[in-house]
Chains A and B, each alone.
Chain A
Amino acid sequence: MSARTTTEELGPVTTLATPIRLDFEFTPGVAQSRFLRGLEKGKFVGQRCPTCGKVYVPSRGSCPTDGVPTTEDVDLGNVGTVTTYCVVNVPFAGQSIEIPYICAQVLLDGANISFMGLIQEIPTDEIRMGMRVEAVWVEPEELTPSLASVRYFRPSGEPDADYETYKDYL
């Protein structure tokens, strides 16, 4: 038996594990709290800029263009337009959705910014820009102040939106 014991035999150390974990309390602030409380009621709440009139969802409390507070709440509908999308075919650690699935940017009617949503109830090869979609919410008793309240979006059955209506949001 000839166990390698000296540094020369063992060679240089190439890996050093130093586990790190930090926990934080998230502070959503005034504007995001309104958005999250809206989700708890099963609706999307945006905020309008008093200067340019654009509606942000979710708002962080400021118009990123004008730098002024967004204070007017705007109840947005349940329906929007797919501005762009991708089809996820790659498995990764912690994946909770069966692949392949569609990840899309959805521009809610009345909003001036899109946000990311899962698209279901449609074959992945049928997704397209301009498709009209609607949010499917969890059961009322399962609603929480979280995007987990939105199960996914699905086709609303309306004709596709005209490119002119969403070309500025790509």
Chain B
Amino acid sequence: MSAAAATAKRAVRRPVSIASFAQSENVRQDDQHNEVEMLMPVVAEVFANIGITKNDIDFICSGSSDYLIGGPFSFVTALDAVGVWPPMPESHTEMDGAWALYEAWALLQEGEIDAALVYSFGRSSPGNLNEILALQLDPYYLAPLWPDPVSLAALQARALIDAGKGSEEDFAAIASRSRKDALSNPNAQVAHDIPVETLLRDEYVVSPLRRHALPPITDGAAAMVLAAGDKAREWSDKPVWISGFDHRIETHSLGARDLTSSPSTAKAADVAGVADGPIDVAELHAPFAHQEMILKEALGLDDGVTINPSGGALAANPIMSAGLIRIGEAAARIASGQAARAVAHATSGPCLQQNLVCVLEGE
């Protein structure tokens, strides 16, 4: 690890590497496979990448939400995709897999285990996302109004425009670039090369957000293997290290927030040590185009940073997996030598309510 990593405000006690990553193809609706069948090939691939089996893993942590498929305890039955026999320590976060990754990373910090499997699955097609996501809001004053996530994001985009921090042209430029970059991502769901001026002729879905500024609705799954100690070197010649990691949350009350900034992202970035060295690549979980601008400012990224070369969440947004995929995509760019230091970000909740920042470094 570089000396810079040691200056991260929350010191990384034990280096942990991202040893393997796999993701499913992202599709609008996978109506052929149940959750176990979606996950099985992804879990098999994440092990096969480095020639290990489930017996080499000490801990499993997953991220998913039963609300998405309306299936109680779907997070428990999903374990069938791994086959946890003999029994092994296992946990689950009702959060994007990025937070499951954080839990596994924190446990690895303790030094009692050396390897963990993290996976997540998000099937957005079985229900109505606009209704389902409304239920994560304050249950007394907000949820009964059923505000949908697009309308809430539009409030944020409008606030950004009114504050002079962004324009519809900016949003279109982000969407155009992201989906053009997604042409080189074999797992992307929406990839095309459409110029900004054409995009600006899109209809509004909820003003000021036009169709192109919205994420697609996606079914998908992802998995990752973390390694520490000897296993990190055993499973990779050039490990990708997590050099800083933090997550923060903002108030549940949208009205109490300045929606044009993301203090939780800035705080997490500070603790994770984003500014301790140059960033080559940033994979940002910005489901709505304008949110990339807010995150870029909160993370202190300059114009030289390549943002979302995978296409980001605008190319595929499997809820509960899209954040973990950002970390996997950033790690892949370090593993391939395209980047030396990268930052990955995941979000959850309305209007970037909760944010996670992960700094990755090669050797």
A residues sitting closer than 8 Å to B (CB atoms) are 16, 18, 20, 22-32, 60-69
Contact = CB atoms under 8 A, between A and B. Distances in A.
B127 A23 contact: yes
Given A22-B131, A66-B85, A67-B81, A27 B30 contact: yes
B24 to A, nearest CB: 14
A29 B69 CA distance: 13
B54 interface: yes
Interface residues of B, number: 35
Contacts of B70: 22-24, 26
Given A18-B140, A29-B34, 20 more contacts: A18-B139, A18-B144, A22-B128, A22-B131, A23-B128, A26-B70, A27-B34, A27-B69, A30-B32, A60-B80, A61-B36, A62-B36, A62-B40, A62-B80, A63-B80, A63-B83, A64-B83, A64-B84, A67-B83, A67-B84
Q: 9 closest A-B pairs (Cβ-Cβ)?
A: A67-B83, A29-B34, A24-B70, A65-B85, A64-B80, A18-B144, A61-B37, A62-B80, A24-B126
Contacts of B123: 27
Which secondary structure characterizes the binding site on chain A? loop
A41 to B, nearest CB: 21
B140 to A, nearest CB: 6
A29 B126 contact: no
A22 B37 contact: no
12 contacts: A23-B70, A23-B128, A24-B127, A27-B30, A61-B40, A62-B37, A62-B80, A62-B83, A64-B80, A65-B83, A66-B85, A67-B80
Nearest to B132: A22
Contacts of B91: none
A30 B84 CA distance: 22
Contacts of A64: 79-80, 83-85
A60 B143 contact: no
A25 B229 CA distance: 45
Contacts, number: 90
B43 interface: yes
Interface string B31-42: 111111100100
A22 B123 CA distance: 15
A156 B79 CA distance: 36
B127 A60 contact: no
Given A18-B143, A24-B70, A27-B31, A68 B36 contact: no
B336 to A, nearest CB: 29
Given A18-B144, A69-B40, A62 B30 contact: no
Contact of B81 (A24, A27, A62): A62
A29 B37 contact: yes
Contacts of A68: 40, 83
B113 interface: no
B140 A16 contact: yes
